[in-house]
Copies of this chain bind each other. A is one copy, B any other.
Amino acid sequence: MTVKQQIVRRLQQTKRPVLICHFSPDGDALGAMLGLAHALRRLGKYPDITCQDAVPSAFDYLPGADKVVSEPSGAYDLIVSLDCSDVRRMGTPYHNLSQSQDVQLINIDHHVTNLNFGNLNWVDPTAVATAEMILELTQALGVRLDVDIATCLLTGIVSDTRGFRTANVLPRVMAAATRLMQAGANLVDITTRVFGHRPLAAVRLWAQALQETHMEGRILWSVVTQEMRMQSGCDTNADAGLVSFLIDVNEADIAVVFTEKNSGEIDVSLRTNRGLDVSQVALSLGGGGHPQAAGCTLQVSLQEAMDTVLPTLQATWREQTGQ
């Protein structure tokens, strides 16, 4: 029996499951979790759905987003982790539960850096999104797609493929998107919500960040400081898309954005093209991700973060390109 089949059986048996996606949730974390929640409801199960951090307002439209809680409280017989590459990424909901309960943990994820921390681990790095794996799971569970499931799962696929732009988008993925649209998911609405949410203040922030963009070798990097966000009137998420913009520059093989958070921590976002892999760099710095899109959070100053990350990336570039 494959691990997927074992998970199907376990989901059919569970009476009181809780689903957990990673903190700082993105479209795939939320889409996969809520999609699975809707599928389980069709089977007469009512999972609690939890995330350490609040659902960003951009994802308000996801059916069930208002049911996500930060503190699960119940006697569960199963925990399902969605889109988390390591146990730490589940954050406080899992931390608190695991102190008081000894419950089986299912780990469903598509990150190549996944540490197989569950009792059952279904990790498929060839899936473009955890939501694509949940689509497979709904079929294995015999659940028919409806507009709620489809909206959640297409959100996950659109988010993690940057709108069908990543190298892993094969015909299979387009066919899946077609099926989800036929089931009622509205692609343009989803795309607009996932990518179109940029306040006017972000234009001012980008103008500043683009002026602070530097090229070293084939690495293009920029910074978003607290001061820049304050001056432009932007909140923390305003640099979304900046690193993707930079990796679209012809001369860049690797793009990096260092963002100074309000807490003072530094978020490091990494992107690559030409087949370079920065997932292991991110993992070694306490983060994770995909070969072409990864990241980590460092408890150091902006300057220290640059001094640590940039030479490491230069070494990675030389190693992988043989130059």
A203 touches B170 (CB 8 A): no
Within the complex, the shortest CB–CB distance from A38 to chain B, in Å, comes to 20
Number of interface residues of A (CB under 8 A): 41
B164 touches A203 (CB 8 A): no
B250 touches A200 (CB 8 A): yes
Bound Cα distance A45, B182 (Å):
38
Contacts of A1 in B (CB 8 A): none
B174 touches A178 (CB 8 A): yes
Within the complex, the shortest CB–CB distance from A234 to chain B, in Å, comes to 12
Q: How many copies, total?
A: 2
- Is A248's beta carbon under 8 Å from chain B? yes
B198 touches A248 (CB 8 A): yes
**Residue of A169, A174, A182, A213 with highest tally of chain B CB at under 10 A:** A174
Q: What would 13 more interface pairs be, CB under 8 Å, given A165-B192, A192-B273?
A: A165-B188, A171-B181, A171-B182, A174-B174, A174-B181, A174-B187, A195-B248, A200-B249, A200-B250, A200-B251, A202-B249, A207-B211, A207-B213
Instruction: Give the top 8 A-B pairs by smallest Cβ distance, nearest first.
Output: A207-B210, A174-B178, A171-B181, A207-B211, A200-B251, A167-B188, A196-B248, A171-B182
Contacts of A196 in B (CB 8 A): 248, 250, 273
- Is A220's beta carbon under 8 Å from chain B? yes
19 contacts between A and B (CB under 8 A): A163-B164, A163-B165, A164-B191, A167-B188, A169-B187, A174-B178, A175-B175, A192-B273, A196-B248, A196-B273, A197-B250, A198-B248, A199-B249, A199-B251, A200-B215, A200-B252, A203-B210, A207-B210, A207-B211
